[in-house]
């Protein structure tokens, strides 16, 4: 089946940006901190043919990566949006080249690109899944479990997610909360599909601790070392029996190619925000698929906008491992789309409607908005 990845140009009138504060159903703790409220930027592309929606997946603080919400707002309003508005018409695949002179800020760029892509696809009555090359109508759903009070509490939290039907468990680890937490989950639930994510909390000097995890037959260890520790990750990978997966380090398809060439990873977590957009995410997918490297779709606690887009991305053929594409209810009691992602038999459905395939719940959007600006041509 030929994959059509060109979408029509849109006549851009402007962009609306909103910062939202959405409460989480429970605090989410990683090796770098705890979050109770999701601070996120929602992007609305205003075009002659209708609106398009995107999401900038930064966190409130620059702890996962160097990007953070206030910084993304600043660079988007001061530099990125003005550059895009210089163009009268714009195709989705022109967004990245127009923004390319501005270094970094990939999450901000990705959110803007998604809004333009959504507007273009809606105007053509085509779905994002069809556009990206989805081959499945639903994707297996894994869940990312934050660090809990103690291993016993972790077991109870994991039990609830397994009861809901999640098909793969990922637990967050950090020094001092690694081997015992993993052992507790293995002891309680046997051979479930299980993986761990360190969010860069270790150094090569901790290799002895990380090799202890080999005995748990994990699917993978995600991002044990720092973002730019690409050589150290290769050194560590040679010492581990468990597959090493990179998240933070894979900031582009070039970074992915470099990591694979060096042997720094044998699995790749693909996040559109981290690599600068869904179109670049497809390029990471394509090169990993060519190299027979399995990939899976990561998450950034997306609202219904990014969650729908992630389901479409995760339906591409190279996504052979369950992703962090969970039900909206994993994080939110109230989402900002009218049909939030739900778990059905351990899977999330790939939306089939035009564009991202979900509609915005305008009253929820208003209720969570703490800041708003409209920039027009």
Number of Cβ within 10 Å of residue 184's Cβ equals 19
Question: What x-and-dash track marks residues 94-133 binding ligand SMG by CB under 6 A?
Answer: ----------------------------------------
229 contacts ligand SMG (rule: CB under 6 A): no
Number of Cβ within 10 Å of residue 366's Cβ equals 12
247 contacts ligand SMG (rule: CB under 6 A): yes
Q: Which is nearer to ligand SMG, 144 or 264 (CB)?
A: 144
Closest by CA to 135, choosing from 284, 312, 310, is 312
301 contacts ligand SMG (rule: CB under 6 A): yes
* Per-position b or e across 255-285, b if 16+ CB within 10 A of its CB: bbbebbeeebbbbbbbbbbbbbbbbbbbbbb
64 binds, among Mg ion, ligand SMG, none (CB under 5 to 8 A by kind): ligand SMG
Candidate residues 197, 227, 229, 280; the one interacting with Mg ion per rule CB under 5 A: 197
Q: Which is nearer to ligand SMG, 132 or 297 (CB)?
A: 297
Tokens at 282, concatenated = 């497809």
Asked about 170 being catalytic, the answer comes back as no
- Whether 119 and 355 have beta carbons less than 8 Å apart is answered as yes
299 contacts ligand SMG (rule: CB under 6 A): yes
Candidate residues 9, 29, 144, 303; the one interacting with ligand SMG per rule CB under 6 A: 144
Q: What is the DSSP string of 111-130?
A: HHHHHHHHHHHHHHT-BHHH
Q: Which is nearer to ligand SMG, 229 or 247 (CB)?
A: 247
118 binds, among Mg ion, ligand SMG, none (CB under 5 to 8 A by kind): none
30 binds, among Mg ion, ligand SMG, none (CB under 5 to 8 A by kind): ligand SMG
Cα dihedral 302, 304, 309, 314 in deg (nearest 10): 70
227 contacts Mg ion (rule: CB under 5 A): no
- Whether 275 and 288 have beta carbons less than 8 Å apart is answered as no
Please tell me which residue in 170, 172, 254, 371 is annotated as part of the active site: 172
Asked about 271 being catalytic, the answer comes back as yes
Q: Please, what is the minimum distance in Å from the beta carbon of residue 63 to ligand SMG? A: 8
Strands 10-30 and 33-47: antiparallel
User: ∠ CA 334-47-92 to the nearest 5 degrees?
Assistant: 85
- Residue nearest ligand SMG, Cβ-based: 299
Closest by CA to 263, choosing from 238, 300, 297, 284, is 238
Q: Which is nearer to ligand SMG, 64 or 68 (CB)?
A: 64
242 contacts ligand SMG (rule: CB under 6 A): no
Three-state SS for 212? Answer: helix
Which residues participate in catalysis according to the annotation?
A: 172, 271
Q: Which residues of the shown chain bind ligand SMG in the complex (CB under 6 A)?
A: 30, 35, 59, 64, 144, 197, 199, 247, 298-302, 324, 326
């Amino acid at each position: 089946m030929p994959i059509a990845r060109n979408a029509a140009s849109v006549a851009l009138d402007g962009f609306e940006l909103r910062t939202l504060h959405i409460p989480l159903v429970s605090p989410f703790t990683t090796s770098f901190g705890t979050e109770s409220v999701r601070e996120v930027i929602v992007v609305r592309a205003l075009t002659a043919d209708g609106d398009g929606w995107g999401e900038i997946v930064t966190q409130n603080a620059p702890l996962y990566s160097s990007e953070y919400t206030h910084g993304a707002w600043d660079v988007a309003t001061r530099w990125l949006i003005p550059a895009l508005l210089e163009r009268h018409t714009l195709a989705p695949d022109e967004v990245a080249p127009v923004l390319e002179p501005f270094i970094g800020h990939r999450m901000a760029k990705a959110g803007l690109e998604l809004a333009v892509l959504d507007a273009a696809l809606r105007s053509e009555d085509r779905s994002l899944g069809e556009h990206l090359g989805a081959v499945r109508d639903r994707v297996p759903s894994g869940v990312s479990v934050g660090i809990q009070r103690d291993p016993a509490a972790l077991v109870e939290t994991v039990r609830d997610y397994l009861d809901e039907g999640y098909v793969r468990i990922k637990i967050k680890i950090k020094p001092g909360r690694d081997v015992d937490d993993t052992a507790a989950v293995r002891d309680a639930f046997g051979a479930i599909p299980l993986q761990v994510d360190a969010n860069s909390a270790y150094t090569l000097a901790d290799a002895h601790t990380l090799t202890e995890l080999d005995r748990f037959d994990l699917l993978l260890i995600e991002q044990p070392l720092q973002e730019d520790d690409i050589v150290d990750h290769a050194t560590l990978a040679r010492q581990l029996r468990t597959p090493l997966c990179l998240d933070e380090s894979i900031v582009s398809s070039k970074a992915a190619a470099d990591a694979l060439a060096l042997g720094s990873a044998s699995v790749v977590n693909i996040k559109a925000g981290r690599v600068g957009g869904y179109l670049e995410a497809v390029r990471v997918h394509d090169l990993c698929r060519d190299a027979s490297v399995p990939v899976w779709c990561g998450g950034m606690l997306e609202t219904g906008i990014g969650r729908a887009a992630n389901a479409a991305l995760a339906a591409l053929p190279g996504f052979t491992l369950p992703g962090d594409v969970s039900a909206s209810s994993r994080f939110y009691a109230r989402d900002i789309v009218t049909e939030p992602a739900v778990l059905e038999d351990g899977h999330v459905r790939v939306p089939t409607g035009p564009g991202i395939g979900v509609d915005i719940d305008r009253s929820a959007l208003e209720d969570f908005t703490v800041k708003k600006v409209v920039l027009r041509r």
